[in-house]
Amino acid sequence: MKTVLKSQSQEVVVSMDGPIVMIGEKINPTGRKKLAAALQAGDFEYVKQQALQQAAFGAHVLDVNVSVPGLDEKSLLPAVVKFLTAHTQLPLCLDSNNPQALAAALEVAPGKPLVNSVSGEEGKLRDILPVVKDRGAAVIGLTMDNAGIPADAEARLAIAGKIIERAAKAGIPAEDVLIDPLVLSVGADQKAAAVTLQTIALVRREFGVNINLGASNVSFGLPDRQTVNQAFLALAFGAGASCVITDAEKLAGAVLASDLLLGRDPYGKRYLIHVRRMQAAAAAAAAGGARG
Ligand code: THG
């Protein structure tokens, strides 16, 4: 199955045989005081800097989350989307809990954006699916509902099925639904990653849809988070995930190595280009340091 996302000028395809798609997570003020302050001040330069940096590290799509307590997302999200459209050619992933903010951002986003997200909650299905359909966008479906995130893979599979079915009823084809099986911290629950990996395999087998993950949660509270995140991502791609919301700067290497190992990078071309680019950047930084 192929999910096509578009900006004003570029197309990104999520599929099981093409490159794993990296959605840059950094335009998100959660835990980022500097970004929260910049958004509060209406200063989007820092947003631009984050966008360009993520693109340079290989992000294919940019997640845009502007949820800061006290700010009006309904006006801020479309404003930041418009700003980003003037400064980046990457497709956007509109990340909000607020259906009105998503609807407003969809009106100004170019091409074919990704909506992040709907869930199995009735209110979310009712409010979000029609605007996704009207705009011809794609949507991420989280495997949770009013009762929270189920502890077992079968229950997450059932919610995925419900979302896909309700999307179809609203006129959204399965290829425009990415299922996100969600991962909790393995530091808090030993089985957290295993349940997510099982859900990925079940959803792929049952529905064949593309699967997205936000991977950073898995390592919350553990030392050396990056090593855990890298190992988890490799396992998730092996199980069938093909899209990830992540820090491209830290995890592009693991994503591209996974592509290579899964036979999704002919001749290792993209892996080699990435490594050379990182080496050139490190050399330039070292030379700058020596001069400075
Ligand atoms: N699935 C979907 N969408 C999502 C998530 C998901 N959106 C939000 C989140 N999870 C993914 N985005 C982030 C963004 C930032 C961080 C983690 C996930 C993060 N921030 C640092 C922290 O909290 O320690 C901030 C510090 C910093 O990096 O400077 O880790 O799962 N569909």
pLDDT computed for residue 95 by the predictor: 98
CA angle 211, 155, 199 (to 5 degrees): 30
d(CA 174, CA 233): 24
pLDDT computed for residue 94 by the predictor: 98
Which residues on adjacent β-strands are paired with residue 140?
116, 178
pLDDT computed for residue 218 by the predictor: 96
Domain contains 121: yes
The answer to whether 146 touches 40, Cβ cutoff 8 Å, is: no
d(CA 258, CA 251): 11
Domain that holds residue 59: 2-284
Domain contains 292: no
Q: Is there an atom of ligand 1 within 6 Å of 180 CB?
A: yes
Distance 151 CA to ligand 1 centre (A): 21
Provide the CATH number for the domain around residue 179: 3.20.20.20
pLDDT computed for residue 290 by the predictor: 74
Give the pLDDT of the chain (292 residues) as one tens digit per residue: 999 999 999 999 999 999 999 999 999 999 999 999 999 999 999 999 999 999 999 999 999 999 999 999 999 999 999 999 999 999 999 999 999 999 999 999 999 999 999 999 999 999 999 999 999 999 999 999 999 999 999 999 999 999 999 999 999 999 999 999 999 999 999 999 999 999 999 999 999 999 999 988 999 999 999 999 999 999 999 999 999 999 999 999 999 999 999 999 999 999 999 999 999 989 999 998 776 5
Distance 185 CA to ligand 1 centre (A): 13
d(CA 264, CA 144): 30
CA angle 186, 188, 189 (to 5 degrees): 60
Domain contains 180: yes
The answer to whether 179 touches 213, Cβ cutoff 8 Å, is: no
d(CA 110, CA 194): 37
Domain contains 246: yes
Q: What atom in ligand 1 is closest to the CA of residue 212? A: 32
The protein residue with its alpha carbon nearest to ligand 1, atom 2, reads: 214
pLDDT computed for residue 284 by the predictor: 93
The protein residue with its alpha carbon nearest to ligand 1, atom 27, reads: 32
Distance 16 CA to ligand 1 centre (A): 24
d(CA 194, CA 180): 15
Please count the structural domains in the chain.
Answer: 1
Distance 26 CA to ligand 1 centre (A): 7
Distance 11 CA to ligand 1 centre (A): 24
The answer to whether 255 touches 20, Cβ cutoff 8 Å, is: yes
DSSP-assigned letter for residue 29: -
Domain contains 17: yes
The answer to whether 1 touches 174, Cβ cutoff 8 Å, is: yes
3-state secondary structure of 21: strand
CA-nearest of 113, 117, 134 to 125 is 117
Question: DSSP of 245-288, one letter per residue?
Answer: EE-HHHHHHHHHHHHHHTT-SGGGHHHHHHHHHHHHHHHHHHHH
pLDDT computed for residue 292 by the predictor: 55
Q: Is there an atom of ligand 1 within 6 Å of 117 CB?
A: yes
Tell me the best of 30, 54, 149 to mutate to test the pocket of ligand 1, counting ligand atoms within 8 Å of each CB and taking the most: 30
Q: Is there an atom of ligand 1 within 6 Å of 145 CB?
A: no
Helices and strands counted in the chain (H then E): 10, 10
Domain contains 289: no
pLDDT computed for residue 216 by the predictor: 87
The protein residue with its alpha carbon nearest to ligand 1, atom 14, reads: 25
The answer to whether 65 touches 89, Cβ cutoff 8 Å, is: no
The answer to whether 181 touches 192, Cβ cutoff 8 Å, is: no
Domain contains 291: no
Q: Is there an atom of ligand 1 within 6 Å of 94 CB?
A: no
Domain contains 290: no
